[in-house]
């Protein structure tokens, strides 16, 4: 069952993945352009100074660094998407359960989500709502 749930969460978070991975990849391409610009500028400066520059070493090193940066930023994009999508999925699942009539559904976030205040406020609201419903169910119905 856990595998189905994980797969469902991946499908639910697909739009977040593409959003954050896209942003992270844009950032990584910007870093690659800056890195290569700095590398070419340095090589040109050395060339003008009459220094024999081993271009192959610079290009291989620069490419390796750029690829490592892009991979790291891509992984960070996936992790960020999971961290952002988690609370959204929790909220949606809780709201769906409440819409189905399950008013005893508590809202629980991970501690790392830093949404303790939202969780506490929502659960307090649901406690007060349940109490009002209990009082209303016990009250006599007014004649129309």
For residue 12, the model assigns a pLDDT of: 55
- Structure token pair of residue 80: 């960020």
102 is written with which tokens?
């399950």
Q: Please give the C-alpha separations between residue 97 and each of 7, 9, 73, 92, in angstroms, as whole numbers.
A: 20, 17, 36, 9
Kindly give the confidence (pLDDT) of every residue in the chain, 144 residues in length, as a single tens digit, with 9 standing for 90 and above.
444 555 555 555 666 667 777 777 787 788 778 877 887 888 888 888 888 877 777 778 877 887 887 788 778 877 777 777 788 888 888 999 999 988 888 898 888 778 889 999 999 999 999 999 889 888 665 544
pLDDT of residue 123: 93
Q: From CA 107, how far away is CA 87, in angstroms rounded?
A: 10
Distance CA 22, CA 40 (A): 27
- Residue 4's pLDDT is what? 52
> Could you say which DSSP state residue 16 is in?
H
Q: Residue ranges of the domains in the chain?
A: 2-84
87 and 95 Cβ atoms separated by less than 8 Å: no
Distance CA 20, CA 130 (A): 38
């Amino acid at each position: 069952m856990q595998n189905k749930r994980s797969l469902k969460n991946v499908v639910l978070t697909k739009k977040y993945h593409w959003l954050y991975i896209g942003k992270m990849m844009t950032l990584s391409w910007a870093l690659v352009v800056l890195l290569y610009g700095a590398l070419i500028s340095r090589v040109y400066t050395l060339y003008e100074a009459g220094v024999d520059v081993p271009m192959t070493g610079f290009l291989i090193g620069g490419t390796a660094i750029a690829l490592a940066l892009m991979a790291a930023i891509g992984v960070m994009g996936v992790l960020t998407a999971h961290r952002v999508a988690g609370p959204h999925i929790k909220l949606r699942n809780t709201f769906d359960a409440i819409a189905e009539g399950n008013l005893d559904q508590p809202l629980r976030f991970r501690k790392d989500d830093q949404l303790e205040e939202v969780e506490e406020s929502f659960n307090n609201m649901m406690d007060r709502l349940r109490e009002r419903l209990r009082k209303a169910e016990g009250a006599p119905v007014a004649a129309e």
